[in-house]
Amino acid sequence: MEHPILFLSLLFDLIGLGDFAHHYPHVVYSWLVMLLFIVFGWIAGKGVSIIPNKLQNLFEVMIEGIENFQVDMMGEEGRRYFPLIATIGLYVFTCNVLGLVPGLLSPTANINTTLSVALVTFCATHYVGIRFHGIKYVKHFMGSMLPLAPLMIPIEIIGHLSRVLSLTLRLFGNIMGEDLVLAILLLLAGKFLAPLPMMFMAIFTSFVQALIFSLLSMLYISAAIEEAH
């Protein structure tokens, strides 16, 4: 149970990078997700026409759905951050669901992947804030009244750092927990298809966690855009 059989690690064994693939399977599988997105993006962008065919319809529905949801939350000025939010949402969702396929591993079941996505959100928040407000972005940290500033600045800094921690741990805990439950059910009663009902639940929670991650990124960025108190 400690060492599951992973297809890409076996593939890398053939190339000769087997050691790397066995120690860092989450990196290898996030490369797989990147490759999937590049291929699907290229296919989606190929024959774009005014009257959409079936595949283009599917992609349009997905992208428009995410964009409308985002503009609802963030307002019109948030539209330029749509590629970041959509990439975060789709990447996290694909990474989560990848673990349900036998022989593949969720990159987000490892805390390094989730920490990396949370750090991207954190850096994006402050970059957007500084870009919008310039040096006046510091006012966001100082609270509502100037005399309170020495008290509010450490609290706000700790709050911002705790955002990274909560994003990381929420996604990691959910996906790692679901993987553990599937593994334990497999151990207990694998030949009676015991993990199967849990897998339906896992698809739902994967989607909800990706939605929550991208929603929180949207909220943090819109909090950085809007005026201080």
Partner 1 sequence: MKKASLTILLTVLIVLGLSAVALATETEVKVAGLRVFYAIVTAAGFGMAIAAIGCGLAQGLAIKSAVEGTARNPEASGKITVNMLIGLAMIESLAIYALVVALILLYAYPMSGPIKGLVGM
Rule CB under 8 A: which residues touch partner 1?
A: 166, 169-170, 172-174, 176-177, 208-209, 211-212, 215
Gap between the Cα atoms of 122 and 20, Å rounded: 29
Report yes or no: 104 and 33 within 8 Å, Cβ to Cβ.
Answer: no
Residue whose entry in the numeric block shows the structure tokens 């009244």: 145
Using CA atoms, how far apart are residues 175 and 93, in angstroms rounded to an integer?
A: 11
Q: How far is the CB of 169 from partner 1 (least distance, A)?
A: 5
Query: Of the two residues 153 and 215, which places its CB atom closer to partner 1 in the complex?
Result: 215
What tokens does 136 get? Answer: 């006046």
- Kindly tell me the burial class for residue 129, based on how many C-beta atoms sit within 10 Å of its own C-beta (0-12, 13-18, 19 or more): buried
| Closer residue to partner 1 in complex, CB, 86/153 | 86
Residue whose CB is less far from partner 1, 74 or 152: 74
For 103, residues 6+ apart whose C-beta sits below 8 A from its C-beta are 5, 6, 7
> From CA 114, how far away is CA 171, in angstroms rounded?
7
Select from 225, 205, 202, 204 the least CA-distant residue to 70: 225
Query: Which residues are within 8 A (CB) of 129 and not within 5 positions of it... i.e. 6 or more apart?
Result: 137, 140, 224, 225
Cα 205 from Cα 153, distance rounded (Å) = 36
- Comparing CB distances to partner 1, the nearer of 103 and 177 is 177
Could you tell me the smallest distance in angstroms from the CB atom of residue 2 to partner 1? 11
Q: Please give the Cα distance from 71 to 61 (Å, whole number).
A: 15
Indicate the residue among 22 and 170 with the shorter CB distance to partner 1.
170
Shortest distance, position 208 Cβ to partner 1, whole Å? 6
Considering the complex, what minimum distance in angstroms separates the CB of residue 175 from partner 1?
10
105 vs 176 by CB, closer to partner 1: 176
Please, what is the minimum distance in Å from the beta carbon of residue 91 to partner 1?
A: 18
Cα–Cα distance for residue pair 221/126, rounded to 1 Å? 8
| Residue number, 56 or 205, with CB nearest to partner 1 | 205
Shortest Å distance, C-beta 158 to partner 1: 16
CB of residue 95 to partner 1, shortest distance in Å: 17
